[in-house]
């Protein structure tokens, strides 16, 4: 049964946008993304959700210190870091950005329009930096999957209404499927929006590990998640 939709009154002011960026050992990529976001207008805050290795976060710390106003949370598992970042956030909308992503310059306007029209979750339209047939096929599969399941993976730049997400208890420990799991759990609270606004991603996992090993790894993780949900 569908629960009553959560439609707050935005007539007084525009929804605030918090950008959360999960990172591991990606200091150079993080610096590039922060420099890009600094050229754009519309977002309200950035929170780095950094994996804390035993030897510390010296490189990540240096990047954060060089970017005034950027906040940092540290932790282990990704879902825990995302929950800590969302608890710290002050925005009405939380956008999760992979560290190698470049969202379209008008992404903030697109997010606000979607939320004011009733969406509680959604994603940007994935666009790969490489334009071969295989990567175009991946883009199409990602769009179909998002529409069909009402869920999005991290490389699709998922977004959520923060209060609705917190009411659901935050992200769960389901590996790389924590964001799609959250969006599916929010379906009864409002709509899911696949926005035409693109987000450019680098395909680095496919390039570094190889197409076949990466595809097989993702399928293994997907089947493991489905098995655990039984």
Residue 66, pLDDT score: 80
| Range with lowest mean pLDDT among 45-49, 63-67, 149-153 | 63-67
Residue 211 has pLDDT above 70, yes or no: no
The rounded Cα 97 to chain-centroid distance in angstroms is 4
DSSP letter at 11 equals: S
Q: How far apart are CA 111 and CA 146, in angstroms?
A: 16
One DSSP character per residue, 93-154 reads: EEEE--TT-EE-TTHHHHHHHHHHTTEEEEEEEEEESS-SHHHHHHHHHHHHHHHHHT---G
Helix (H, G, I), strand (E, B) or coil at 57: coil
Entry pTM? 0.87
- Let me know: does 102 contact 200? Beta carbons within 8 Å: yes
| Residue 229 neighbours by CB distance under 10 Å | 9
Confidence class of residue 5 from pLDDT cuts 50, 70 and 90? very low
DSSP annotation string for 175-217: GGGHHHHHHHHTGGGSEEEEEEEEEEE--HHHHHH-HHHHHHH
The token pair that represents 216 in the structure block: 């097989």
The least confident of 101-110, 161-170, 188-197 is: 188-197
Task: Determine the straight-line distance between the first and last CA of the chain, rounded to whole angstroms.
Answer: 21
pLDDT(7) > 70 = no
Q: Which is more confidently placed, 38 or 230?
A: 38
pLDDT in tens, 68-98: 889 999 888 999 999 999 999 999 999 999 9
More confident residue, 207 or 197: 197
Instruction: State the Cα–Cα distance between residues 9 and 118, nearest whole angstrom.
Output: 11
Summarised one tens digit per residue, pLDDT across range 175-203 is: 888 999 999 899 877 889 999 999 999 87
Task: Please tell me the distance from the alpha carbon of residue 116 to that of residue 126, in angstroms, as a whole number.
Answer: 22
Pick the CATH number of 17-228 from 3.60.70.12, 3.30.70.260, 3.10.20.880, 3.90.550.10: 3.90.550.10
Instruction: Report helix, strand or coil for 7.
Output: coil
pLDDT above 80 (res 33)? yes
The number of angstroms, rounded, from the C-alpha of 129 to the middle of its chain's C-alpha atoms is: 18
**If pLDDT is split at 50, 70 and 90, which confidence band does 2 have?**
very low
């Amino acid at each position: 049964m569908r629960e009553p939709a959560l439609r707050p009154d935005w007539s007084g002011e525009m929804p605030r946008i918090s950008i959360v960026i999960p990172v591991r050992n990606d200091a150079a990529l993080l610096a590039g993304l922060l420099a890009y976001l600094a050229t754009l207008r519309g977002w309200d805050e950035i929170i780095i959700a950094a994996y804390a290795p035993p030897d510390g976060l010296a490189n990540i710390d240096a990047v954060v210190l060089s970017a005034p106003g950027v906040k940092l949370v540290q932790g282990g598992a990704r879902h825990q870091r995302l929950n800590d970042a969302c608890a710290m956030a002050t925005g009405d909308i939380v956008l999760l950005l992979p560290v190698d992503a470049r969202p379209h310059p008008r992404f903030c306007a697109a997010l606000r329009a979607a939320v004011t029209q009733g969406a509680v979750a959604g994603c940007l339209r994935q666009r790969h930096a490489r334009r071969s047939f295989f990567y175009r096929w991946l883009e199409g599969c990602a769009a179909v999957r998002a529409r069909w399941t009402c869920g999005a993976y991290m490389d699709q730049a998922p977004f959520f209404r923060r209060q609705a997400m917190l009411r659901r208890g935050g992200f769960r420990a389901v590996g790389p499927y924590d964001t799609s799991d959250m969006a599916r759990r929010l379906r009864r609270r409002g709509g899911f929006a696949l926005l035409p606004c693109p987000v450019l991603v680098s395909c680095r996992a496919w390039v570094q590990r190889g197409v076949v090993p990466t595809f097989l790894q993702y399928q293994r993780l997907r089947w493991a998640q489905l098995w655990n949900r039984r």
